[in-house]
Amino acid sequence: MDKLPKCGANYTPLSPITFLQRAAAVYSQRTSIIYNSTRFTWKQTYDRCLRLASSLRSLNITKNDVVSVLAPNIPAMYEMHFAVPMAGAVLNTINTRNEMKGSLFD
């Protein structure tokens, strides 16, 4: 296996961005987030993350900038895990670790 050259058929780097793109394409109508009365599908999550990434770029966040987020485990924090890399930046989470009243995953 070590002598096998890397190509698209046998090697794909993993990233949160490719995970979300695939989930939105394959499981678009499946639930991705449940938090209290809030529910989003994978397609909605992908669209929300694209908009958030665009907002970060409009704030002049560029490649390799560090974005720090101080937040509990809420949907906005979940979306930052995708949107920040989409903007080319690095996420630094500062989680307040409060008790969740809902679940992030279905």
Token duo for residue 92 = 């630094």
State pLDDT tens for residues 24-69: 999 999 999 999 999 999 999 999 999 999 999 999 999 999 999 9
Tell me how far the alpha carbon of residue 68 is from its chain's centroid: 15
Q: Where are the domains of the chain?
A: 16-95
pLDDT of 98 above 80:
no
pLDDT given at position 1: 57
% of the chain residues with pLDDT over 70: 90
Q: How many CB atoms lie within 10 A of CB 30?
A: 12
Q: How many CB atoms lie within 10 A of CB 39?
A: 14
For residue 59, what is the enclosing H or E element? none
CA distance 19 to 14: 7
Considering the segment(s) 16-95 as one domain, its CATH architecture is 3-Layer(aba) Sandwich (3.40)
pLDDT given at position 12: 75
Residue 3: band (very low, low, confident or very high) from pLDDT cuts 50, 70, 90 = confident
